[in-house]
Structure 1
Amino acid sequence: MKYTGRILGSLGLFLLHSVYIFYYYFRDKSVEPLDLYSYPFLILFGYWAGKQFDKVRFYSEKDELTGIYNRRFVMNTYEKITSIAERTNSKLYVLVIDCDNFKAINDTYGHHKGDMVLTKISETLIGSTRKSDIVARWGGDEFLIIGLCTEEAGLQTILQRLEEQLKNLSNQINIPISASIGSAIYPKHSKDLFELIKIADDKMYNSKATKSTLKITNLQSKKC
């Protein structure tokens, strides 16, 4: 959480009260002791008011459970990111990541563990991407990553790294975790955010369906 509100609130009231004191000092050639003693209280009030502002701003941009960006932040920032991509002659990739069988995790381990899994996945995604990339919880057990890349080959490296890190996470917390990932590229597939997400979403569900088909095929092979 940023300290912008707290800094501005405390500093603003300090400066405002200082102007008030100087005005009356130059006018009356004296200052009431109470005016000087009120400095700490005004600064504390400014800090408190600024903290409320920081909280409101934080939760308007961040997901309350995981602490990563939320849907609103992505929609508000998308235009800025695309302008950077065009200015630097880069491609913009959109990844949709869905936790496989998340309902089964909730049913087996409980909702508390399910929340922990979502938080750990968020941390893993943050750790597997660059600081300039946007990692957001799009809803439920679905996550979104938006970042810049110079060539599409680099996207495959990113996908492989994400899959490896999620496998490592599964081993660390001893809960079977896998994810299906779909991708779309700006401006190749579309320039519209929701269209890009839909394309990536469709690819993600195709990946999920392929995994299910492979599981069924493997089970049938074992029976034979």
Structure 2
Amino acid sequence: MERSGRYVGLSLGLLISAAAVGLAAAGSGWTGHELFVASSGIGFLLTLLPLGWYLGQKFDHLKERSVRDSLTCAYNRRFIEECFPRLSEQALGRSKKMTVTLIDVNDFKVINDTYGHIAGDHVLNRIVDVLKGRTDRGEIIGRWGGDEFILLSPYAERGAMSSLHLEIQAKLEALSQQENKRLSVSIGSAVFPDDGKLLSQLVACADRKMYENKSTIKQVETAPPARRMNA
């Protein structure tokens, strides 16, 4: 969590205390009131520093909550949209590529209809836990909307992305056994700047690939057993 608010609060506390001491000293001329001035300054300091820290802490908490999804605590869509220009600019400056990945929970409506919305919310949180477990290279997880998540990765190597997709699928298979529910996702990725330089362009490209993946999964699931084994 950022602590900028706390540091600002402490700084304000120090400045106000110093100003109070300065004004009192200027008014008294540092004569017989020196002790009173000093004690007043210490009193202001002891009062305002904790208050500044407390208010700054509250500001940091509010700021953190404003960029997080209230259900899953993944970053929200607004944060992703606001931070992407900065990330893409850094990538261009370093001649690096990055990947935008969309992850959609398959048949999530069935989960909600069968087990209820509380169970559906629980599933979304568990899936976010799975995704957060795969952020060892600086990936950023966000909830894009509903049962769809977005992953910003500071790399675009084909092998790394294939490994990421396979690892997510494998962890979801394990999660399916734990939850006693069939859980799977469809995944599509787009590379910056090859597939676009704007987030909207990359999301559109990743979305197309995600639905291609979803169609493939559906075909495998509905295929006869013999064909399914060969898929």
> How high is the TM-score relative to the length of structure 1?
0.86
What is the CA-CA distance between 1:27 and the residue it aligns to? 4.3
- Offset, 1:157: 1.5
Distance in 2 of aligned mates of 1:39 and 1:218:
76
Cα distance in 1 for residues equivalent to 2:107 and 2:172:
14
**Structure 2 residue matching 1:188: 3-state secondary structure:** coil
> How do residues 162-201 of structure 1 correspond to structure 2 at under 5 angstroms?
162-201=168-207
CA deviations 1:105-125 (Å, max 9, x no partner) are 222222222212111211211
Asked whether the 8 Å contact 1:96–1:201 carries over to 2, the reply is yes
Q: Percent identity?
A: 32
User: How far apart, CA to CA, are the structure 2 residues paired with 1:35 and 1:153?
Assistant: 62
Q: Deviations over 1:147-193 (max 9, x none)?
A: 12253232212211221122222233333211110111112222221
Moved more, 26-35 or 71-80: 26-35
3-state SS of 2:151 partner: strand
By how many angstroms is 1:102 displaced?
Answer: 1.1
Residue in structure 2 matched with residue 112 of structure 1 by the alignment: 118
- After superposition, the CA RMSD in angstroms is 2.5
Distance 2:227 2:130 in 1: 34
2:16 maps to which residue?
A: 16
> Match of 1:155?
161
Which secondary structure does the structure 1 equivalent of 2:101 belong to? strand
Instruction: Please identify, of 52-61 and 131-140, the stretch whose mean Cα deviation from structure 2 is larger.
Output: 52-61
Q: CA deviation at 1:201?
A: 0.8
Task: Give the AA of the match of 2:18.
Answer: S
Q: Which amino acid aligns with 2:76?
A: N
- How far did 1:130 drift? 2.7
TM-superposed deviation, 1:36: 3.9
- 1:53-202 → structure 2 map (5 Å cutoff): 53-149=59-155, 151-202=157-208
Once the two structures are superposed, residues 196-222 of structure 1 have per-residue CA deviations (whole angstroms, 9 ceiling, x without a partner) of 111111111122122222222238989
Over 3 Å counting, the alpha-carbon distance change for 1:220 and 1:168 in structure 2 is closer
**CA shift digits 1:29-52 (9 cap, x unpaired):** 232556644544433432343233
Equivalent residue for 1:214?
Answer: 220
Where 1:149 maps in the other structure, the secondary structure is coil
Where 1:9 maps in the other structure, the secondary structure is: helix
Following the alignment from structure 1 to structure 2, what is the Cα–Cα distance between the partners of residues 172 and 39? 54
For 1:70, the aligned partner's letter is N
- Which ranges of structure 1 fall in alignment gaps of 5 or more residues? none
Unaligned segments of structure 2, at least 5 residues: none
Q: Is the 8 A contact 1:96 1:144 kept in 2?
A: yes
